[in-house]
C-alpha cells in the first residue's frame, strides 16, 4: 500500500485545519452580531450631534468655526486610514488600502502632500512599509471601539488642520452594507460641508453659555470624533463579517479537499487489494 | 399630557436615557442650570457631575452621572451629548502627544519616501492571492 500512510496523515492535517477555520468562523459570527449592535448604538449620538452642528452652522453666529471654512488653496491633505488589527478577513484591508493608495497617488500628481494617520495594525504596517508620512497611529483597539483610545490620534490631525499643516482631511474605511457586502469608502471630514450636515428643521439662534466660541469649538471637535468613531465601529462590523465569510469558505474548501483525498486513499487501498488477489490467483494457477 | 419636555441622553458608545421630563438639572460649566419645559434654545458645555431628571410620571428623580459633554435645548427637546471619557485640554493633549511620538518612533525604523510602485505591487499581490483563492473555490464547486 504505497503512499497510503502519507495520504492518511494529509487527511488528518486538513481535518485539523478545518476544525480551526470552523471555530474561527463561529467566533467571528458571534463577534459580528455584537459589532453590529455597537455600530447601531453609536448612531443616535451621531444623529443628534449632526443636528446640533447643522443648527449652529445655519444660525447667525458671530463666530464661525475654522472647520466650516473652506480653504481656497489646498496644498496638504490629511488622511485617516481605518483598518483591522488582525488579518484573515478576506480582501477587507486590501481593498480599502488600494482605494487610499490610488487616491494618494492622485493627490501627489496634483502636487498635494499627504499626511497619514493610521487606525488599526494592518493599515499602519502597510503605510509604514511603503513609506507614507504617518503622523499618528493607534493599534490594538480590540473588539470594542473606545472613543477614549481614538482621541489622541484624531486630535493630532485636527490640530494639524487648525495650524494649517493640512488643508483637507479625509477618512478611508470599510462601510458595512450587510453581512455579505462591505465596501471601502473615502469621505471628506474637514472642512465640513453644508450638504453633509443637512439643513435643520426649524430656525432659531441659541443662547450660548458661557460663550459661543468654546461651546462651538467643543461641539465641532465632538462631531468629528463621532464621525471617526462611527467609521471605526462600522469597520469592525465589516471586519467580523468579512472574516466569517472568509472562514466559512475556508472550511468548505477543507471539506472538499478531505473528500478528494479520501477518494484517492480508497482507490489506492482498492488497487493494493486487487493486486494482492491477482498475485494469489496467479500463484495458485502456477501450482495447479 | 402634563407640561413636559422630551429629553435624550446619548453618548458616542450608547444611548443612555430617553423620556419625558418635567424638570431637568444639569451641571453646566458656568454653574448648575435648571430647565423647565419651554426653555429658550440654549447650548452649553457641561462639567462632570450628576444630571437630575424629574420624570413626568414619577415622583423620584432619576440620577445620571456624566463625565462632561454638551447640553442642547431646543423647543420641546433637550439633548445631552455625554462624553464617554473624562476630558480635559491637558488630557487630550497628552494623548495626542503619545500618539504622535509612537508614530515618530515607528517612522525612524524605515527608509525613503512613499513608494507608490511598491505599494501598488504589494496590494496587487495580495489581491491576486484573494482572487486566485476565489477562482479556485468556484472551480471546485
Domain segments of chain A as ranges? 2-25+245-287, 42-240
- pLDDT at B111 (0 to 100): 58
Joined together, the cell numbers standing for residue B85 give: 471619557
Q: Is the pLDDT of residue B141 over 60?
A: no
Q: Quickly state the pLDDT bin for A116 (edges 50, 70, 90).
A: very high
pLDDT computed for residue A194 by the predictor = 65
pLDDT band for B105, please (50, 70, 90 cuts): confident
Residue A268 distance to chain B (closest CA, Å) = 22
User: A117, A121, A123: which is closest to A161 by C-alpha?
Assistant: A117
Residue A52 near chain B (CB below 8 Å)? yes
* Beta strands across the sheet bearing A134-138: A134-138, A113-119, A76-82, A168-178, A181-190
Q: Which residue has the higher pLDDT, B56 or A160?
A: A160
3-state secondary structure of A186: strand
Asked if domains A2-25+245-287 and A42-240 share a fold, the reply is no
- For A23-91, the DSSP string reads HHHHHHHHHHHHHHHHHHHTHHHHHHHHHHHHHHHHS--S---GGGSPPS---EEEEEEE--SS--STT
User: How far is the C-alpha of A67 from the C-alpha of A160, rounded, in Å?
Assistant: 12
Contacts 24+ apart (CB under 8 A), A154-157: A154/A80, A154/A117, A154/A224, A154/A225, A154/A228, A155/B92, A155/B93, A155/B95, A155/B96, A155/B99, A156/A117, A156/B96, A156/B99, A156/B100, A157/A78, A157/A80, A157/A115, A157/A117
d(CA A194, CA B73): 22
CB-nearest to A134 from B83, B103, B120 is: B103
pLDDT at A16 over 90: yes
First-to-last alpha carbon distance for chain A, in angstroms, is 28
Cβ-contact B50, B16 below 8 angstroms: no
Predicted local confidence at residue B134, as pLDDT? 76
Nearest to A225 by CA among A129, A146, A108: A146
DSSP, res A156? H
Enclosing H/E stretch for A272: helix A212-287
Q: Which CATH number fits domain A42-240: 3.40.50.300, 3.40.1380.10, 3.30.1360.120, 1.10.1740.10?
A: 3.40.1380.10
- The pLDDT assigned to A120 comes to 92
- B5-11 vs B15-28, strand pairing mode: antiparallel
Q: Which CATH class, in words, describes the domain spanning A2-25+245-287?
A: mainly alpha
Instruction: Scan for cell 449652529, then name that residue.
Output: A56
Q: Test A207 with B40 for CB contact under 8 angstroms.
A: yes
pLDDT at A199: 65
Please tell me the least confidently modeled range out of A236-240, A244-248, A259-263, B8-12: B8-12
What is the share, in percent, of chain A residues with pLDDT greater than 90?
56
* Residue B132 confidence (pLDDT) above 90: no
Q: Which cell is B61 given?
A: 428623580
CA-CA distance, A263 to A254, in Å (whole number)?
14
> Does B110 contact A129 at a Cβ distance shorter than 8 Å?
yes
Return d(Cα A143, Cα A120) in angstroms, integer: 11
How many residues does the structure list for chain B? 141
Chain B residues with CB-CB distance to A126 below 8 A: 119, 122
ipTM value: 0.77
A61 pLDDT band, cuts 50/70/90, is low
Stretch A187-215: mean pLDDT: 76
Q: How far does the CA of residue B26 sit from the closest CA of chain A (Å)? A: 13
Span A97-105, average pLDDT: 93
Is the pLDDT score of A58 beyond 90? no
* pLDDT for the residue A112: 92
Q: Which of residues 11-70 of B touch A (CB under 8 A)?
A: 11-15, 28-30, 33, 40-45, 69-70
Q: Which residue has the higher pLDDT, B127 or A237?
A: A237
**Chain A CB within 8 Å of residue B111 CB:** yes
pLDDT of residue A64: 78
The H or E element that residue A185 is part of is strand A181-190
Peptide bond into A210 cis (omega under 30): yes
Q: Give the DSSP H/E element, type plus range, for residue B82.
A: strand B77-82
Give the pLDDT score at B91. 73
What average pLDDT score do residues A76-83 get?
94
pLDDT of A4 reads 83
- Residues of chain A with pLDDT > 70, as a percent, come to 95
More confident residue, A237 or A58: A237
- Which three-class secondary structure state does DSSP give residue A191? coil
**B27 Cα to chain A: minimum distance (Å):** 12
Provide CB contacts within 8 A for A40, sequence distance 6+.
Answer: none
Mean pLDDT, to the nearest integer, of B80-105? 78
Q: In this structure, which long-range contacts are made by residues A251-254, counting pairs with CB atoms below 8 Å and at least 24 apart in sequence?
A: A251/A18, A251/A21, A251/A22, A251/A25, A252/B137, A253/B136, A253/B137, A253/B140, A254/A14, A254/A15, A254/A17, A254/A18, A254/A21
Contact A225, A75 (CB under 8 A): no
Chain B: give the shortest CA distance to residue A78, in Å. 14
pLDDT digits (tens, 9 = 90+) for A268-284: 999 999 999 999 999 99
Amino acid at each position: 500500500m504505497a503512499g497510503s500512510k502519507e495520504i492518511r496523515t494529509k487527511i488528518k492535517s486538513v481535518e485539523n485545519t478545518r476544525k480551526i477555520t470552523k471555530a474561527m468562523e463561529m467566533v467571528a459570527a458571534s463577534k459580528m452580531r455584537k459589532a453590529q449592535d455597537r455600530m447601531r448604538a453609536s448612531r443616535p449620538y451621531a444623529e443628534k450631534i449632526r443636528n446640533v452642528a447643522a443648527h449652529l452652522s445655519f444660525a447667525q453666529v458671530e463666530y464661525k468655526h475654522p472647520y466650516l471654512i473652506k480653504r481656497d488653496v489646498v496644498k496638504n491633505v490629511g488622511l485617516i486610514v481605518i483598518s483591522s488589527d488582525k488579518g484573515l478577513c478576506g480582501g477587507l484591508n486590501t481593498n480599502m488600502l488600494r482605494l487610499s493608495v490610488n487616491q494618494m497617488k492622485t493627490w501627489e500628481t496634483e502636487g498635494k502632500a499627504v499626511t497619514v494617520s493610521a487606525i488599526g495594525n494592518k493599515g499602519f504596517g502597510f503605510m509604514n512599509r511603503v513609506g507614507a508620512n504617518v503622523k499618528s497611529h493607534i493599534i490594538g483597539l480590540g473588539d470594542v471601539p473606545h472613543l477614549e483610545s481614538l482621541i489622541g490620534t484624531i486630535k493630532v490631525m485636527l490640530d494639524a488642520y487648525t495650524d494649517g499643516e493640512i488643508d483637507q482631511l479625509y477618512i478611508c474605511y470599510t462601510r458595512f452594507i450587510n453581512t455579505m457586502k462591505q465596501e471601502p469608502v473615502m469621505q471628506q471630514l474637514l472642512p465640513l460641508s453644508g450638504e453633509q450636515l443637512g439643513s435643520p428643521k426649524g430656525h432659531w439662534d441659541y443662547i450660548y453659555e458661557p460663550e459661543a466660541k468654546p461651546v462651538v469649538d467643543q461641539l465641532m471637535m465632538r462631531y468629528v470624533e463621532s464621525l471617526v468613531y462611527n467609521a471605526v465601529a462600522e469597520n469592525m462590523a465589516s471586519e467580523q463579517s468579512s472574516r466569517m465569510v472568509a472562514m466559512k469558505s475556508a472550511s468548505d474548501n477543507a471539506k472538499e479537499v478531505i473528500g478528494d483525498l479520501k477518494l484517492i486513499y480508497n482507490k489506492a487501498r482498492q488497487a493494493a487489494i486487487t493486486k494482492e488477489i491477482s498475485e494469489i490467483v496467479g500463484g495458485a494457477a502456477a501450482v495447479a | 399630557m402634563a407640561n413636559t419636555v422630551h429629553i435624550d441622553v446619548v453618548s458616542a458608545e450608547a444611548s443612555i436615557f430617553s423620556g419625558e421630563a418635567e424638570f431637568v438639572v444639569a451641571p453646566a460649566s458656568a454653574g448648575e442650570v435648571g430647565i423647565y419645559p419651554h426653555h429658550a434654545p440654549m447650548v452649553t458645555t457641561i462639567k462632570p457631575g450628576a444630571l437630575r431628571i424629574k420624570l413626568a410620571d414619577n415622583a423620584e428623580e432619576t440620577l445620571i452621572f456624566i463625565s462632561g459633554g454638551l447640553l442642547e435645548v431646543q423647543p420641546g427637546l433637550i439633548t445631552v451629548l455625554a462624553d464617554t471619557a473624562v476630558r480635559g485640554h491637558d488630557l487630550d493633549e497628552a494623548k495626542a502627544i503619545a500618539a504622535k511620538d509612537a508614530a515618530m518612533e515607528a517612522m525612524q525604523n524605515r527608509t525613503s519616501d512613499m513608494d507608490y510602485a511598491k505599494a501598488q505591487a504589494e496590494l496587487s499581490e495580495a489581491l491576486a492571492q484573494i482572487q486566485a483563492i476565489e477562482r479556485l473555490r468556484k472551480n471546485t464547486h
